[in-house]
A and B are shown apart, each in its own frame.
Chain A
Amino acid sequence: MTMEGMRKQSTNRAKRGVILTLSALLMGASVLLWGESPSGSSGALDQDRHLDKNPVREEKGLELRKTGWTYDCMECHASLKAKWHLGDQLMEHRDLELNHGSNRFCLNCHHPENRNVFVDYDGSEIAEEDVVLLCGKCHGPQHRDWMKGAHGRRNGYWDVSRGESEKLACIQCHDPHDPAFKAMEPLAGPTYPARAAGKPEKKSHHEEGDSNHGD
């Protein structure tokens, strides 16, 4: 890398840092403002602070990107050539495990030259925000259902004349490298009525370690 390029990069970093700090300050201020605003300010969706609407999958880097981080893959991949297989990784992507059925090649999805975008059948580029189109290359029925609202979650308004309806994208719920939906811990259930007859006997996993049933 030339001196010119390095300087450019360092100024970019500095810019990023400023943006990061600024947005952190802004976020802090908005939290303060929310805390002081009278409860139930109508209209705004901040009424939903009591609901956990986060998608299941913490998208890596998304928070950073929101605060100004560009996440430019070409910073490294300008010099490092693309590979079809996920082989031995030297530094980056070591935490990656590819468990996507018969889709075993990096370049099935990632563009061989421009690593910031995805690749279509004909080698053309699919922008990062259009990731749904990439998944639709193979998962046609799911893509159709998603378009029609039968797959994936909506948030916001059912009546789009009154507010926005937000569709979650594929990768907000499915890890593209390991797309099967993960098992999760259930939240607490209802309690068995104290004065009722004993909890019915069950054949399954509940049996071991719980012999008090049926008294």
Chain B
Amino acid sequence: MATEGKSGQESRPVEDVLQPMTRRTFLRGSAASLVGMAGVVAALKPLLELEAGELSMEELLQRHYKKLEVEDLHRIMKNLEGKCKREYGIRPQMQDLKPGEGVEFAYALNLSACIGCRKCAHACLAENNQSREDANDINMSYIRVLEMDKGAINVEESDHYYDSATVPQKDKYYMPVQCHQCRNAPCVKACPVEATWQENDGVVVVDYNWCIGCRYCMAACPYDARRFNYKKPTLESTQVNPNQNYLSNRVRPKGVVEKCTFCLQRTRAGRLPACLEVCPTGARIFGNILDPDSEINHILQNKRVYVLKEDVGTNPRFYYFFD
């Protein structure tokens, strides 16, 4: 009885229920449709880029790397070489090196030897064609060198902006961090479009033409190993490394994520990664863990190695040790 009376009291005229166009609802509605319009424009952006010539019809309709026919990939790579020549003034030599049989890469880093000179971080930039504003701009480098107080591995208290006059500083030690090529890689699981995956030699690669730039992988990575191209990379022609690979160091387009690939344009040709080749202290050791006589296997068997953030269960291929 009581409820009936109450509902009778609250019954409103039909105009109120239907919400006629007031100033507020008009504004709300137009704002919503503006957002919708912006979404449509964003979705159509590739078409606009197509119109402006920044993107070719072929790139727009290109299939996933794994589904490309060999001749298609070769044509695409030829086009990319031409594009690099037009935009950066140098024609690279692009390859698509495949993982070797019986090869699985691993990396070890001797923290007793590292002095934090950042030569690896700069060599990374010289090798991998990342965007940079000037010669000293290493914000896009795949390597961050953390400075930490001796006595603990306290990554939270670490500093990678250190600018001391000389290194190593007393009471400090240095830990370079780059992609750990995890066996259980969170970035690969996070990608909604399978634009990033792990190859047979353990390297996690990105198909830059398939990446949609959502940056979920960056949020998923516990090692801050991925970089995003907020803009079209700025590179002088003298800074472009012409030895390029489709899945690694070719000049990236705007709006995609890139990462360390253990320099696969070098390592899949049997050579050592750039960061290792310049290390003045010899702190870096790289090799094939499937080869029982390799140097990296000697390290894993004889030194007390540990992995960074073991508790997150990523099972990295990058090992640190003290000796």
Interface string of B162-184 (1 = CB under 8 A from A): 11111111001000000000000
Q: Complex Cα distance A159/B278, Å?
A: 18
| Nearest neighbor of B157 in chain A, beta-carbon distance | A200
> Would A150 and B303 count as touching, CB distance under 8 A?
yes
Does B282 sit at the interface, judged by CB under 8 A?
yes
Does B56 sit at the interface, judged by CB under 8 A?
no
Does B281 sit at the interface, judged by CB under 8 A?
yes
> Would B277 and A157 count as touching, CB distance under 8 A?
no
Does A204 sit at the interface, judged by CB under 8 A?
yes
B190 CB to nearest chain A CB (Å) = 23
> Would B138 and A188 count as touching, CB distance under 8 A?
yes
Determine, out of A43-51, A76-84, A120-128, the stretch whose residues face the partner at the interface.
A43-51
Does A28 sit at the interface, judged by CB under 8 A?
no
| Cβ < 8 Å to A, chain B residues 137-159 | 137-139, 141, 144-145, 159
**Residues of A within 8 A of B (CB-CB), count:** 46
Does A189 sit at the interface, judged by CB under 8 A?
yes
> Would B117 and A184 count as touching, CB distance under 8 A?
yes
Residue in A39, A155, A200, A206 whose CB lies within 8 Å of B90: A39
Chain B residues lying within 8 Å of A157, measured Cβ to Cβ, are: 270-272
Interface string of B304-315 (1 = CB under 8 A from A): 000000000000
| Nearest neighbor of B166 in chain A, beta-carbon distance | A183
Chain B residues lying within 8 Å of A148, measured Cβ to Cβ, are: 295, 298, 302
> Would B277 and A155 count as touching, CB distance under 8 A?
yes
| Nearest neighbor of A141 in chain B, beta-carbon distance | B323
> Would A53 and B270 count as touching, CB distance under 8 A?
no
Interface string of B107-134 (1 = CB under 8 A from A): 0001001011111011100110000000
Q: Complex Cα distance A50/B135, Å?
A: 12
Chain A residues lying within 8 Å of B93, measured Cβ to Cβ, are: 39-40, 42
Query: Could you pull out 17 A-B pairs where Cβ atoms are within 8 angstroms?
Result: A42-B93, A52-B123, A150-B285, A153-B276, A157-B270, A157-B272, A158-B267, A159-B271, A168-B282, A184-B280, A185-B166, A185-B167, A186-B118, A186-B162, A187-B122, A190-B161, A206-B164
Q: Nearest 9 pairs between A and B by C-beta?
A: A149-B295, A162-B270, A153-B282, A40-B242, A159-B270, A188-B136, A40-B93, A183-B166, A39-B242
- Chain B contacts to A: CB under 8 angstroms: 90-93, 110, 113, 115-119, 121-123, 126-127, 136-139, 141, 144-145, 159-169, 172, 241-243, 267, 269-272, 274, 276-282, 284-288, 294-295, 298-299, 302-303, 323
Given contacts A40-B243, A149-B285, A205-B169, 18 further A-B contacts (CB under 8 A): A40-B92, A52-B119, A53-B277, A148-B302, A149-B295, A150-B323, A151-B282, A153-B276, A153-B284, A156-B272, A158-B288, A163-B270, A181-B115, A183-B115, A183-B168, A188-B122, A191-B137, A202-B159
